[in-house]
Structure 1
Amino acid sequence: MPADPRLARWLQRVEVELEASLPPPDQPPHGLHRAMRHAVLGGGKRVRPLLVYAAGCAVDANEADLHAAAAAVELVHAFSLVHDDLPAMDDDALRRGQPTVHVAFDEATAILAGDALQALAFERLARADVPADLRVDWLATLAEASGAAGMCGGQALDMDGTGATLALPELERLHALKTGALIRAAVRMGGLAGTRDPDRLASLDRFAAALGLAFQIRDDLLDIEASSDQLGKTAGKDQAQGKSTYPALLGPDGAREALARQAGLMDASLAELAGDLGPLSALSRLVVERRS
């Protein structure tokens, strides 16, 4: 984790919020509740909830107002991973160094756990102790990022493109939805808690859009450079499934150049903003330089 003490503190807070949000494992239906907890509490970088806090910090939001949004965006992310790993999707057996939910439990439980995590995210936002207009904006932002105009649409494009060679604009659109939409939502939700200035929100959105593509390009590079133990998931899976990736289209060196361009766009977007940008800058470095 980059050397900003706030990131470590927020990371601890995210775990507290997630634990408090999830149903207890000794409460029926036991299998469903254990599966939800397995999906959420099994580790992870927590980049998206950290982005909520970091974007809020950049616009001087009240930190206490950000807890619900941080938890909700991570619950939606966990839901997406549970469904992404299913046999009908990417059919993966390893996630965050442990068996995926459908392997640890069963496929029906995994489907229900993902559904329940998504619903829990919106319940968490609906009950947030923030002004009503902020709750509505958060709900709309996260819903759009989760549905056909966001992650679900990106996953559909990913499945449609498996086995085909996508053009670079097609690949960018796919990942702008599948990976980037939730990252942009996390940044926007943090931003909305501190400002309604359209120019500041637009700068945050440009930062988040570049961050989302950088995250995916780095992910594609790690898929061919790192081991399964390093990644906590199956390495080489994209190539094995015939998916288009940035290294496949551009070559590894070209993908690194594309990653550097996105890093430059992030820096340029942050330069447009006033405020405490240290955490956002640290997270951008984390995404570009990460090893897992």
Structure 2
Amino acid sequence: MALRDLDGALGQAMIYAVQGGKGLRAFLAIESAALFGIERTAAAPAGAAIEALHAYSLVHDDLPCMDDDDLRRGKPTVHRQWDEATAVLTGDALQALAFNLVLKTVCPAEARVTLALGLSEAAGVRGMVGGQAMDIAAESAALPLDLDQITALQAGKTGALITWSAEAGAIMAQQDPAPLRRYGDCLGLAFQIADDVLDVEGDADAMGKAVGKDDARGKATFVGHLGLDGAKRRAEALVQEACDSLSLYGDAAGNLREAARFVISRRN
């Protein structure tokens, strides 16, 4: 089933929610698969799955009960374009679609099960949702989070899906995912630090969403602990570590190294 085949407000909202964005997570899944000779068409369902799941998380994050955002990717958020009930159902449907898609990845059945299990863990209480819960709780906590706690929070909220994407190719090929897992762990933290930096010095038009909200809401961020320059240095070190973890793959990992460098040079 393709999204374009869906009728009605829910189907249109699902299409709307997945449009735009960088497609980084899908790129990582497809490029990691290419390291092991897996064709793009075979890996594409896993790439589509992670983008559907990521889009669901954004739709729900934008809701008034969460981050209460009016813009996402330069256009009204789903609950503004439609309504809150449609946004909740859109996120629910995209999450279900993600697991439908990942189980259509062209690889051995055991690998498909491993991908689906890993995605459920990356998306759930030990990953993205758990990190989001920690983030919400931190806003009203008596004591601010320290740097280790922020790192743990963001490793779940942002990093877990990025790590899953990075190691997906090795899992499809039933090879050791450890080097790509390390790459994904470093990349996920670098990505979040870059987001924290952009929230301070980014342009709202280029970002396609509001900036300066972290400070306004008193959120604990890498920039708050390390300062702008310190945060940028930390992100650069993480990118170098991510690239170093790919040494096993030689020149074949060139696109993944470029993706790591892009993460901290992007303007949105």
Runs of 4+ in 1 over 3 A off after TM superposition: 127-130, 272-275
Q: 1:93 aligns with which of 61, 70, 75?
A: 70
Counterpart amino acid of residue 32 in structure 1: L
May I ask how many residue pairs the two structures share in their alignment?
266
Could you give the per-residue CA deviations for residues 132-178 of structure 1, whole angstroms, max 9, x where no partner exists?
11211111111111111110001001101115521000000000000
Unaligned runs of 5+ in 2: none
Distance in 1 between residues matched to 2:26 and 2:4, nearest whole Å = 20
Match of 2:121 among 136, 139, 144: 144
Deviations 1:32-67 (A, max 9, x none): 1111111012x1000000001111122322332201
Q: Which amino acid aligns with 1:33?
A: G
Identity rate of aligned residues, in percent?
44
Pair 1:189 & 2:168 matched: yes
Normalising by structure 2, what TM-score? 0.95
Distance 1:127 1:260, change over 3 A: closer
> Which position in structure 2 is the counterpart of 1:167?
146
1:125–1:135 CA contact under 8 A, matched in 2: yes
Alpha-carbon distance in 1 for matches of 2:5, 2:211? 33
What are the residue-to-residue correspondences of 1:123-272 with 2, within 5 Å? 123-164=100-141, 165-196=144-175, 198=176, 201-272=177-248
Instruction: Kindly indicate whether residue 260 of structure 2 is the aligned counterpart of residue 281 of structure 1.
Output: no
Q: CA deviation at 1:127?
A: 3.3
Q: TM-score w.r.t. structure 1 length?
A: 0.87
User: Taking structure 1 as reference, are residues 129 and 277 closer, same or farther at Cα in structure 2, changes over 3 Å only?
Assistant: closer
Is the 8 Å Cα contact of residues 43 and 106 (structure 2) preserved in structure 1? no
Task: Between the two structures, name the one with larger relative contact order (CA 8 Å, sep ≥ 6).
Answer: 1
Provide structure 1 residue ranges, at least 5 long, that are not aligned to the other structure. 1-19
Give, in whole Å, the separation in 2 of the partners of 1:22 and 1:46: 17
Aligned to 2:5: 24
Give the counterpart letter for 1:39 in structure 2.
A
Cα contact 1:163–1:243 (8 A) shared by 2: no
Question: In structure 2, do the counterparts of structure 1 residues 244 and 180 end up closer, same or farther at CA, with 3 Å as the change threshold?
Answer: same
Partner of 1:53: helix, strand, or coil? helix
Residue of structure 1 in register with 2:32 after alignment: 55
Native 8 Å contact 1:58 1:274 kept in 2:
no
